[in-house]
Amino acid sequence: MKNPVFSQKIYSFLLAAYRRYLQTPERSLYEAYDAALKIQEIENKHFNGNKIDTDSAMYSNSVMDYFESDLNKLLKITRMRLTEFKASRWFLNEENQKAAQKAGIEYLSLSLVLEKLNFIDQVISKYTTTSKALVVSPQNLSANSVISDEKSLLVNTPTLPPKIPNQDSDNKGKIKRKTDTIGVLPRSILSTISRLQVELDPNSEQEVIQSFRQTQKRTIISIRFILLLIIVPLLTHQIAKSFVVGPILERFRSSEQMQIFLNSEMEEEALVELQRFEEKLKFENLIIKAPPLLPEQLETEMKNKAIELAEEFRHESSGAIKNVFADMFSVVAFIWLLLVSKSSIAVLKDFFDNIVYGLSDSAKAFIIILFTDIFVGFHSPHGWEVLLEGVSRHWGLPANRDFIFLFIATFPVILDTIFKYWIFRYLNRISPSAVATYRNMNE
């Protein structure tokens, strides 16, 4: 027999859930409108009704970071709630509207909905980067149509629009000759005049400050992202190993059932350690000129040492099994971090480009020679051998010497080929002087 109180609670819960479903469009619109109002409030109170400019010199960097964080959060809420509003309006048919009226739910009038949507569009349109209407080919349409909002907030680096082909030049087929590019005055004089114009410009100081702030913000974001790429996988590995993989492994496998040696190398290492301990006991007994150890005493010492080694290698084997699964969690965390940080990756790429292009030719050649000698040089096989043995021990796998020698014989050669092709194909075109310096230093 059903409990009427329980049935009434279920009915009330389902009715409340259905009412919430019917109110989804109106609720989403209200939340988006409220977020847009908060953005406008920040503009009116702190930026004199203007757009929240992250490069404004009105406040310090910490204050601007605070405003930028609030802006990003409010814009995200507005866009998510607008998407929810559109989706819920699409699913809400006439029958649902009639059911809402029966349930006592009144929707906003059409004029009020349009007014709120218009206000939301006016507020968020200031922070949406839209490209100018350009005549582009269908092949370039997909690449030039979408620009990340988060990236535009982090880095205000101007991007050049695609060049529009000149109709006169295409029709007449004229080719610009080298003599047409020669001016009346030397280029050095023109560049000096341009530099003087920039220095005498009254707005140049403000531009320098804005450029410095952008560079500072890019450096902070890049360093923070690099630290995240290092710290997040390491923390994920330790947390997963200690609180996820470890308890599960210990629950299903007791310490007595757990295998002591995962491979033959561990067993050989334990035997060598036990033999060394036996020889050490006999040697110490001879040095102090004590009576020889009795067989029972020697057997007791060896048995205690064997138990100690067994416990040590059982713990190492258990740790190797935990490392395999914990590393999987670390890889997932690393990939997830890359997927959700596309704008930070773009900033990091720009950061490294500025560092690389800012180096002198000799510094570039020095770094290239250093890395090539480490990974593909004469002494690199020893480093690869140590690295592969460490990875094998980390996962509890036997160090297969044939695989290691085959890897050393092929992989550095492939790396060297790719690196030489990169120098020939790209670096020679970007910085020919650096390639020339590299060849002179390598010879």
List the single range of 58-67, 153-162, 355-364 with lowest mean pLDDT.
153-162
Closest CA to 216 of 158, 155, 159: 155
| Residue 371 pLDDT level (bands cut at 50, 70, 90) | confident
pLDDT digits (tens, 9 = 90+) for 7-19: 566 656 665 665 6
The percent of residues above 70 in pLDDT, for the chain, comes to 72
- When mean pLDDT is compared over 146-150, 227-231, 306-310, 317-321, the highest value belongs to 227-231
Query: In the prediction, which pLDDT does 11 show?
Result: 57
pLDDT digits (tens, 9 = 90+) for 38-77: 888 888 888 878 888 776 667 777 778 778 888 888 888 8
Query: In the prediction, which pLDDT does 137 show?
Result: 38
pLDDT digits (tens, 9 = 90+) for 101-127: 555 555 667 788 888 888 888 888 888
Closest CA to 107 of 123, 121, 92: 92
Query: In the prediction, which pLDDT does 228 show?
Result: 94
Mean pLDDT of the chain: 76
pLDDT of 132 above 50: no
pLDDT of 156 above 50: no
Chain-centroid distance, C-alpha 65: 20
pLDDT of 151 above 70: no
* DSSP class per residue in 92-112: --HHHHHHHHHTT--PPPHHH
130 vs 103, which has greater pLDDT? 103
Q: What's the whole-number mean pLDDT along residues 290-319? A: 84
d(CA 218, CA 224): 10
d(CA 73, CA 80): 11
The percent of residues above 90 in pLDDT, for the chain, comes to 10
Q: Are 225 and 344 in contact (CB under 8 A)?
A: yes
Closest CA to 272 of 313, 314, 316: 313
Q: Are 39 and 141 in contact (CB under 8 A)?
A: no
Collapsed DSSP state (helix, strand, coil) of residue 354: helix
Q: What's the whole-number mean pLDDT along residues 72-84? A: 86
Q: Are 381 and 408 in contact (CB under 8 A)?
A: yes
CB atoms within 10 A of CB 68: 16
Q: Give exposure, 327-360, as e/b (b: 16+ Cβ within 10 Å).
A: bebbeebbeebeeebebbbbbbebbeeeeeeeee
List the single range of 126-140, 141-155, 269-283 with lowest mean pLDDT.
141-155
Which amino acid is residue 51, in one-letter code? K
CB atoms within 10 A of CB 124: 19
112 vs 334, which has greater pLDDT? 334
pLDDT of 307 above 80: yes
pLDDT digits (tens, 9 = 90+) for 162-197: 333 444 444 444 444 444 445 555 666 767 777 777
40 vs 330, which has greater pLDDT? 330
216-221 long-range CB contacts below 8 Å, 24 or more apart? 216/61, 217/54, 217/61, 217/154, 217/155, 218/154, 218/155, 218/347, 218/350, 218/351, 219/351, 221/154, 221/344, 221/347, 221/348, 221/351
pTM tops 0.85:
no
Q: What's the whole-number mean pLDDT along residues 134-141? A: 36
Closest CA to 82 of 28, 27, 22: 28
Residue 200: both structure tokens together: 């005498």
Residue 347: both structure tokens together: 């900033």
Most distant CA pair in the chain, distance:
110
| Residue 236 pLDDT level (bands cut at 50, 70, 90) | very high
Residue 68: both structure tokens together: 């930028």
pLDDT of 327 above 70: yes
